[in-house]
């Protein structure tokens, strides 16, 4: 009977390494997990077998945490819920065990481990070119995780092999160099621009991520890499990707298509370099766009107009974000507050909403609501989930418009290889889409650093970039720029500079003696 002690899994949903890496087709399901980790939260939709434990599963979704860490901490957004650690984000008073900074670290480190395991195991297929592309994509995803890690935490361990040995902490510079080297190295095996299937990355993604990395090099590792930023932005801009100009729903703007339920097919996909994909039936989560759509609805908004069955009454814009569109106001209400704008990117719901925020907690009507994300396709139909719970809309993690802005900023910051006129042209391309004509165009003399930062807010708000941008401009913690409830006071106040980095999870510091906590925490 002793042999009976050797039991093998008998569950039909459980597989061994041999099953998973039996052939390239099976291995694709393991690759799919590497992508899915940035969109879904576990092995059961919408929740049930979570990847990350100790945090609400829906909350643990990558883009939802990215939104929380990079938008809620800024002038872009507030949230009215009392979830653990959440009110501390906008108040900039998070501690070392904050649920969001902890959950995000876990999610990203886990993605690194998933990628490491995949890369090691997939090597066994030798020369299969399709598998070589899988491995390059896995390395891209690992580099993407590390890009987020140095952005959010700075100094983290650099791990490229699965091992149970507690890792040493690497410096921000070492991580930076690793990401750069990896992205340069994998280009040989990534597919050509536009040659891969939707949802999987090609060479352009590695260029785009390098562009982002170089743009922040000064802020993160005190290196002037603006010329590299110019170069790689340019490569991405000159690829097969193009700014979406298809106004598929005929409402006069091709901007809103980027955030509709059919944005994987309505033309918007031409702009998407890297996406997190969602589907109301097949890929369900309480994070992602399901979160962005539901959480943005409340007050007198009609959920059905957004293709969902109800609002979660959470997310609103601060006055600072609304004010970015001041120059384009076409109509105000009785109190003189703006209610209509020429710039179609100003997607605010104002009925019954006050511009000014008095109370953040549980008071949806304080602050304008944002209508950017919808679960309606360009025909006006609701997404595929008939119940209106889960959203189809994919979320661009990198889209070409950002490359335009990166190019402009790198040029203005002194990067070689580009010019102001081209940069102005790029910005005007975005603004023409926003205004529907050239009435919003600028001159090259208007293209200052501050203008670019504001333009980034207008183009990219709520897409998970704002905190990084403000830090690059040294405005995130300082008193040079205040927004409502910055630092926990209504009129806003500066906070200590150490908050440009989030803490490493407090628990990990006690588990892994090799780790040193970030200053201030």
Partner 1 sequence: GTVTESATGLPVPGVNVIVQGTTNGTISNFDGEYSIDNVSDGDILSFSFLGFATQEITYSGQSTLDIQLEEDSAALDEVVVIGYGSVSKKDATGAVDQVSTEDFNQGPVQTAGQLITGKVAGVSVTSGGGAPGEGQTINIRGQGSLSLTSSPLIVVDGIPLSNDAVGGSRNALDFINPSDIESMTILKDASSTAIYGSRAANGVIMITTKKGKGNEFKFNLSTSTTVYTPTDYVDVLDGDQFRTLINEIGDDAAIERLGNTNTDWQDEIYTTSFGSEHNLSTTGRIGDFMPVRASLGYTDQDGVLKGDNFTRTTASVNLRPSFLDSHLTVELNGRGMYTENTFANRDAIGSSVDFDPTQSVFDENSPFGGYFTWLNSENVQNSLAPTNPVALLAFKDDTSEVRRFIGNAKVDYDFHFLPELTATVNVGLDKSNANGRVVTSDQMPSSAQDWNGAYNSYSNENTNKLFDAYLTYDNDFDVHSVNAVAGYSYQSFENDNYSYDSELKEDGLDFEDINKAKSVLLSYFGRFNYNFDNRYLFTATMRADSSSKLNPDDRWGYFPSFALAWNLNNESFLESSAVVDQLKLRVGYGEIGNVNGLDDYNFLTKYAGSIGGASYQLGNQFYQTYRPEPLNEDLRWEVGKTYNLGLDYGLFSNRISGSVNVYLKKTEDLISFVTVDPFTNFANAIDDNIGDMENRGIEFEINVVPVRKENFNWSIGYNISYNENEITNLPDEVPVGGINGGTGNTIQLHKEGFAPFSYWVFKQVYDENGRPVEGAYVDRNGDNEINDDDKYLYKDPYADISMGLNTNLNYKSWDLAIVTRANLGNYAYNNMASSKSFETRATANAILRNLQSDYYNTGFVTTTETNLSSDYYVQDASFFKLDNITLGYTLPEIFKESTLRIYGSALNVLTVTDYEGLDPEISGGIDNNFYPRPRTFAIGANLNF
Q: Should residue 22 be labelled a site residue for partner 1 when binding is judged by CB under 8 A?
A: no
Judged by CB under 8 A, which of 76, 101, 382, 518 binds partner 1? 382
> Alpha helices of 337-489 — where are they, by DSSP H?
400-412, 420-435, 449-460, 466-472
Pairing state between β 329-332 and 315-316? unpaired
Task: Please give the torsion angle defined by the CA atoms of residues 229, 234, 239 and 243, in that order, rounded to the nearest 10 degrees.
Answer: 100
Report the C-alpha gap between 457 and 467 in whole angstroms. 11
Judged by CB under 8 A, which of 24, 56, 319, 432 binds partner 1? 56
Q: How far is the CB of 400 from partner 1 (least distance, A)?
A: 20
Judged by CB under 8 A, which of 39, 77, 138, 186 binds partner 1? 39
Q: How far is the CB of 268 from partner 1 (least distance, A)?
A: 15
Q: Should residue 117 be labelled a site residue for partner 1 when binding is judged by CB under 8 A?
A: yes
Q: How far is the CB of 212 from partner 1 (least distance, A)?
A: 23
Q: Could you say which residues in the range 133-162 bind partner 1, by CB under 8 A?
A: 157, 159, 162
Q: What is the 3-state secondary structure (H, E, C) of 474-487?
A: CCCCCCCCCCCCHH
Tokens of 225: 């890499």
Q: How far is the CB of 74 from partner 1 (least distance, A)?
A: 18
3-state DSSP assignment of residue 496: coil
Q: Could you say which residues in the range 246-305 bind partner 1, by CB under 8 A?
A: 264, 277, 279, 281-284, 298-300, 302-304
Instruction: Report whether 499 contacts 88 (CB < 8 A).
Output: no
Q: Should residue 242 be labelled a site residue for partner 1 when binding is judged by CB under 8 A?
A: no
- Return the axis-axis angle of helices 24-36 and 129-152, rounded to nearest 10°: 20
Cβ-based nearer residue to partner 1, 134 or 461: 134
Q: How far is the CB of 262 from partner 1 (least distance, A)?
A: 13
Q: Should residue 54 be labelled a site residue for partner 1 when binding is judged by CB under 8 A?
A: yes
Q: Should residue 19 be labelled a site residue for partner 1 when binding is judged by CB under 8 A?
A: yes
Q: Should residue 512 be labelled a site residue for partner 1 when binding is judged by CB under 8 A?
A: yes
Cβ-based nearer residue to partner 1, 246 or 359: 359
Report the C-alpha gap between 214 and 406 in whole angstroms. 10
Cβ-based nearer residue to partner 1, 264 or 324: 264
Cβ-based nearer residue to partner 1, 269 or 428: 269
For tokens 């800024």, what's the residue? 74
Q: Should residue 24 be labelled a site residue for partner 1 when binding is judged by CB under 8 A?
A: no
Q: How far is the CB of 460 from partner 1 (least distance, A)?
A: 24
Q: Should residue 517 be labelled a site residue for partner 1 when binding is judged by CB under 8 A?
A: no
Report the C-alpha gap between 223 and 173 in whole angstroms. 10
Q: Could you say which residues in the range 196-235 bind partner 1, by CB under 8 A?
A: 197-200
Tokens of 485: 């409830």
Q: Should residue 97 be labelled a site residue for partner 1 when binding is judged by CB under 8 A?
A: yes
Q: Could you say which residues in the range 482-511 bind partner 1, by CB under 8 A?
A: 488, 505-508, 510-511
Instruction: Report whether 285 contacts 41 (CB < 8 A).
Output: yes
Judged by CB under 8 A, which of 110, 189, 245, 444 binds partner 1? 110
Q: Should residue 163 be labelled a site residue for partner 1 when binding is judged by CB under 8 A?
A: yes
Q: Should residue 383 be labelled a site residue for partner 1 when binding is judged by CB under 8 A?
A: no
Q: Could you say which residues in the range 388-417 bind partner 1, by CB under 8 A?
A: 388-390
Report the C-alpha gap between 202 and 187 in whole angstroms. 8
Judged by CB under 8 A, which of 228, 313, 366, 377 binds partner 1? 313
Tokens of 137: 């994509």
Q: Which of 93, 83, 89 is nearest to 55 (CA)?
A: 83
Judged by CB under 8 A, which of 46, 338, 367, 484 binds partner 1? 46
Report the C-alpha gap between 262 and 214 in whole angstroms. 32
Judged by CB under 8 A, which of 130, 141, 315, 362 binds partner 1? 362
Q: How many residues at the interface with partner 1, by CB under 8 A?
A: 115
Judged by CB under 8 A, which of 194, 380, 386, 479 binds partner 1? 386
Report the C-alpha gap between 310 and 288 in whole angstroms. 16
DSSP string, 112-181: HHHHHHHHHHHGGGTT-HHHHHHHHHHHHHHHHHHHHHHHHTSS-B---S--SSPPPBPPHHHHHHHHHH
Binding region for partner 1 (CB under 8 A) out of 386-394, 428-436, 454-462, 473-481: 386-394
- What values do phi and psi take at 26, rounded to 5? -65, -45
């Amino acid at each position: 009977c002793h042999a009976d002690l050797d039991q093998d899994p008998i569950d039909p949903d459980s597989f061994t390494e041999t099953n998973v890496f039996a052939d390239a087709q099976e291995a694709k399901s393991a690759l799919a997990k590497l992508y899915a980790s940035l969109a879904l939260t576990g092995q059961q939709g919408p929740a049930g077998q979570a990847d990350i434990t100790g945090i609400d599963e829906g909350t643990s979704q990558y883009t939802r945490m990215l939104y929380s860490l990079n938008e809620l901490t800024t002038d872009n957004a507030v949230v009215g819920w009392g979830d653990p650690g959440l009110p501390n984000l906008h108040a900039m008073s998070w501690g070392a065990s904050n649920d969001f900074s902890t959950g995000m670290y876990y999610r990203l480190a886990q993605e690194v481990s998933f990628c490491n395991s995949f890369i090691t195991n997939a090597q066994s297929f030798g020369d299969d070119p399709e598998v070589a592309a899988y491995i390059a994509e896995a390395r891209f995803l690992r580099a993407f995780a590390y890009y987020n890690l140095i952005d959010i935490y700075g100094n983290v361990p650099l791990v490229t092999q699965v091992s149970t040995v507690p890792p040493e902490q690497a410096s921000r510079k070492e991580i930076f160099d690793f990401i750069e080297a990896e992205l340069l190295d994998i280009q040989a095996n990534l597919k050509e621009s536009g040659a891969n299937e939707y949802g999987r990355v090609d060479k352009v993604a590695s260029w785009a991520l390098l562009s982002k990395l170089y743009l922040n090099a000064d802020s993160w590792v005190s290196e002037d890499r603006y010329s590299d930023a110019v170069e790689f932005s340019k490569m991405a801009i000159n690829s097969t990707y193009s700014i979406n100009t298809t106004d598929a729903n005929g409402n006069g703007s091709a901007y809103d298509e980027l955030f509709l339920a059919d944005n994987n097919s309505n033309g918007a996909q031409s702009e998407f370099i890297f996406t997190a994909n969602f589907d109301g039936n097949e890929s369900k989560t309480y994070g992602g766009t399901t979160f962005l759509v539901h959480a943005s609805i409340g007050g007198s908004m009609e959920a059905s107009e957004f293709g969902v069955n109800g609002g979660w009454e959470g997310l609103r814009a601060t006055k600072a974000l609304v004010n970015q569109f001041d120059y384009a106001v076409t109509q105000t209400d009785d109190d003189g507050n703006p209610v209509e704008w020429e710039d179609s990117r100003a997607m605010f719901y104002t009925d019954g909403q006050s511009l000014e925020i008095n109370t953040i907690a549980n008071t949806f009507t304080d602050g304008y609501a944002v209508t950017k994300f919808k679960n309606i396709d360009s025909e006006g139909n609701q997404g595929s989930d008939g119940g209106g719970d889960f959203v189809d809309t994919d979320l661009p993690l990198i889209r070409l418009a950002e490359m335009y802005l990166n190019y402009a900023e790198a040029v203005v910051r002194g990067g070689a290889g580009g010019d102001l006129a081209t940069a102005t042209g790029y910005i005007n391309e975005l603004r023409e889409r926003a205004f529907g004509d050239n009435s919003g165009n600028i001159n090259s003399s208007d293209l200052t650093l501050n203008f670019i930062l504001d333009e980034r807010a207008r183009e990219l708000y709520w897409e998970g970039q704002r905190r990084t941008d403000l830090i690059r401009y040294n405005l995130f913690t300082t008193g040079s720029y205040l927004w409502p409830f910055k630092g926990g006071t209504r009129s806003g106040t500066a906070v200590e500079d150490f908050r440009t980095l989030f803490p490493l999870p407090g628990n990990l510091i006690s588990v892994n003696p090799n780790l040193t906590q970030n200053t201030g925490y």
